Amino acid sequence: MASVTLLKTKGLTRHFGGLKAVNEVDFEIREGEIRALIGPNGAGKTTFVSLLSGRIAPSAGSIEFLGRDITKDPAHKRVRDGIAYTFQITSIYPGLTAFENVALSVQSAQRRAPKPAGLSARDLLHRKTRDALERVGLGERAGDLAGTMSYGHQRLLEVAMGLALEPRLLILDEPTQGLSDGEIENFCALVKEIARSATVLLIEHNMPVVMQLADSITVLDHGELLANGTPEEIRANKTVQAVYLGAD
Ligand SMILES: Nc1ncnc2c1ncn2[C@@H]1O[C@H](COP(=O)(O)OP(=O)(O)OP(=O)(O)O)[C@@H](O)[C@H]1O
């Protein structure tokens, strides 16, 4: 596995009034990993990835991406640098087709990538949009209005929108929530495929999915980092069992 540190946090903290949603978290993810972020409800997982993506600002601490301090960078700059965050279906435009939704993401990525010679901007947009839709298995649904698609397909569309940003780090927040068993199986295959070209950080409640996909697991509890380890280490960790796995 590659050993380059992609992203690192030091003392990352976010308080909401008196509540320590994320407290002094030191975290590191290496390029090429699939990392699962788990923890009980309210553990601070969404707050933590929101800090990484720049959707919210930290109360204290720092974030480095490829060795550069990005703590103060706005969300759009982090997207340009290669951090994509797909959060629930709220990012989809229901009145646009699947193709149009993904094309919007491609366009924002194209602003930072040089255009290859011999291909018009329109052709490139078309090709990249189709590629992203095909990678998630929605090639046949390109013309469907996003708002009329099934829940599972909307989740996949959201992943396609993330992929279209050509991220180095793709953060997925509870991507299998609401999917059928068959859809979950396809989704796991998709994440493995995505991991060939991007590092994946996955918030996931479905433990079989976590155990199947993750190279390593980070456990949060009450905003604090409780454990880091391989799936086997986390499964065997008594503290984790007590606060999380045993509670399921
Ligand atoms: N904008 C906010 N204002 C106030 N409190 C918040 C805000 N966002 C999150 N919290 C609180 O911070 C804590 C951590 O929430 P967060 O959503 O990060 O947890 P989570 O681990 O993602 O939970 P879940 O698994 O239920 O999604 C919770 O107690 C939550 O109520």
ipTM of this predicted structure = 0.96
- Reported as a single tens digit per residue, the pLDDT across 149-187 is 998 899 899 999 999 988 999 999 988 888 888 889 989
CB 212 within 8 A of CB 154: no
Task: Give yes or no for residue 151 CB within 6 A of ligand 1.
Answer: no
- Reported as a single tens digit per residue, the pLDDT across 44-102 is 999 999 999 999 999 999 999 999 999 999 998 998 899 998 865 567 899 999 999 99
Distant-in-sequence, close-in-space partners of 67: CB < 8 Å, separation ≥ 6: 5
Distance in angstroms (rounded) separating the CA atoms of residues 12 and 183: 35
CB 93 within 8 A of CB 58: no
Q: Angle at the Cα of 6 (from 5 to 9), degrees rounded to 5?
A: 85
Domains and CATH numbers, the chain: 5-82+167-247 (3.40.50.300), 94-162 (no CATH)
Quote the pTM value.
0.90
Task: Give yes or no for residue 16 CB within 6 A of ligand 1.
Answer: yes
As a whole number, the mean pLDDT across the chain is 90
Distance in angstroms (rounded) separating the CA atoms of residues 157 and 186: 14
Which residue out of 12, 14, 47, 248 has the highest number of ligand 1 atoms within 8 Å of its CB and is therefore the one to mutate?
47
Q: Which tokens sit at 60?
A: 């204290």
Q: Above 80 in pLDDT, residue 246?
A: no
CB 218 within 8 A of CB 35: yes
Q: Which tokens sit at 199?
A: 């590092």
Distance in angstroms (rounded) separating the CA atoms of residues 168 and 147: 28
Nearest CA to ligand 1 atom 23: 42
Coil/strand/helix, residue 41: coil
Helices marked H in 164-248: 181-194, 207-213, 231-236, 238-243
By percentage, how much of the chain surpasses pLDDT 70?
Answer: 92
Task: Give yes or no for residue 23 CB within 6 A of ligand 1.
Answer: no
Nearest CA to ligand 1 atom 25: 41
Q: Which tokens sit at 182?
A: 């068959």
Q: Above 80 in pLDDT, residue 248?
A: no
